[in-house]
Structure 1
Amino acid sequence: MHNICLFIHFSEGNEFPEYVRKYVLELSRHFQEVKLLSNPGKIISHTWSSNVELVFHPNVGNDFGRIYSYLHSVDLRAYDNLAIVNDSNWLIGDLKDVLDWDSICKYDLWGIIDSHEKPWYSNHIDSYHLQSHFLILGRKAISHLGTFFIQAGVHEIMTEKDAKTLRRMVIDRWEIGLTQFMLSKGLITGSYINSFEFNRRFGLKLSANATHLLFEELIREGYPLLKRKAIVHKTQMDTCQIHESFPEDILIHYKGKFDQPSNQDQGDISLLNHKYVILKYRFLKLFKFGKKAINLFSLRLIFSNN
């Protein structure tokens, strides 16, 4: 079985953050080829494993653009499996238990976690998708990629200049669109974490994003990733030191694994308490329900007065 992994990374620094190095190193233990797709810049060369190759691509079309640009230049018929991974997570464990190839090969398209989340701008009737930060495509899915890229409107995505519009297009057409396209072709999909079952266990609705709201619970279940956006401010996304206020019993899983190279500012990370986030989520849900009830009651009063 010949497999390849594309790891997509964007950074404005002059060297790769430690969390990227560790993530790529772990991937190199499980994939025969790892291509680190990064933006051209002032990156200082780094010694990687022999099966890791650094490939520079302009930051056009976000993750979608880099994936398309690279895959457009290779013969995918040489591979049995294609993994696509990005840098939006910290790797806090190893991938040994997750990458069970006997289990993964049962599916044409596999992801580390799925989702039913649907943004308001999505054009899809069914929003079910495998989250795009860690995907593995089998031969059948790989063979459909050419058609998928055409249907997704690759030229429109690659030429979009507005950052917000581009982000929405990529989420709708790539994040959700890839899974929905493969399902429409009769392919079989699966995931390591079933978000429906997981959300139900903790009282969240089907469309809630477990990687943001239940990251601690995911870790306890053996999930090896920690979503960076879930715990740090957007302005500190490249800072990888974990704050001491994070729960001690969870800290032991990854304490000290994300220390940034010494020449970069550490900054102070303000962690969001995930229990507060869940309470806020439930409050907003209750507030919306109350608002609907008030509106319905008001309509009944209007009609009764008439």
Structure 2
Amino acid sequence: MAAVAGGVLAAEVHQAGGVGFIGGGHTPLENLKQEVQKARETLSLPPDADLPIGIGLILWRLEEPHLSTSLAQYEPDTWLRYILHEARASAVWLSFTNGSLGEWVKRVRRVEKEGERRERVRVVAMVQTEKAARELLATEGVDAIVAQGTESGGHGPTDSVGSPLHTLLTTLSPLFLRSSPPFLLAAGGLASPSTIRSALAISPVAGIVPGTALSVSRSSLLPLAQKELLVCTPSGAETTRGLKWDEARGTNGWPGWCDGRGVRNLTSDDAEEEKGLTSEERVERYKRAVREGDVRRVVTWAGAFARSVFLEFGF
């Protein structure tokens, strides 16, 4: 979860018995290094110890056309060398490529061989379609494949390309075994006991990936005003998918099959006051809202069942 899953949250997920990940690739490498240091401090790890948590990458930001051809040739390896051989993360999460996830898996394994590691890195990749899953299953070196449904908060498959999670899991289930890798994991609207049970009831789903529920934890990087908004949002119907937030933020470049789900607000719903504004004026309004912490305009990513999640857990 970009800008939400930092080093402290990832470390605390690990301490609770899960597999924590730090979100990376959306900010400069130096920011990732700072979050890794926070994780080490939270876990009381010495500098030379392996990091028992993973690091995720938003891949399109390390590819053409976001990067120039020359940068795209070596910048990804710079990130991977840090993750694998300096941070010594236990896992890498690959998602949102404009190219091939299979080629990224091969790249990880190649860079892994450049140095010495005490343990083999686990490679996790997220897919939104059967086609993408089949490509990864034909690629050596994948340890887990995350199936992302359209209910997911943040960026994910558009309604026209993706499927609700239950449909996607049912489609993919004949391709996997519960007892051996790559394991099938589920993501999208899964954070409450009832939705988790529903996903795990589909064999051979081996685990689930919560997002929105962890966003409101004290350890997440999400600003307090947005955490409060998530808890108070009346129902899952108050979320919507689209690209208007990215257009306002200037974060265009996501794969064409992708958009984002968040809590409805002035930006997503094209408020009357914004009609007739130029794209530059919209961007400037959004920047001002970020500076002021105005959640009426700033995007708060959330899954489709955000409110039901918090009700079941007693928020």
Larger Rg: 1
Asked if these proteins are the same fold (TM beyond 0.5), I'd say no
When normalised by structure 2's length, the TM-score is 0.29
Report the TM-score, using the length of structure 1 for normalisation: 0.30
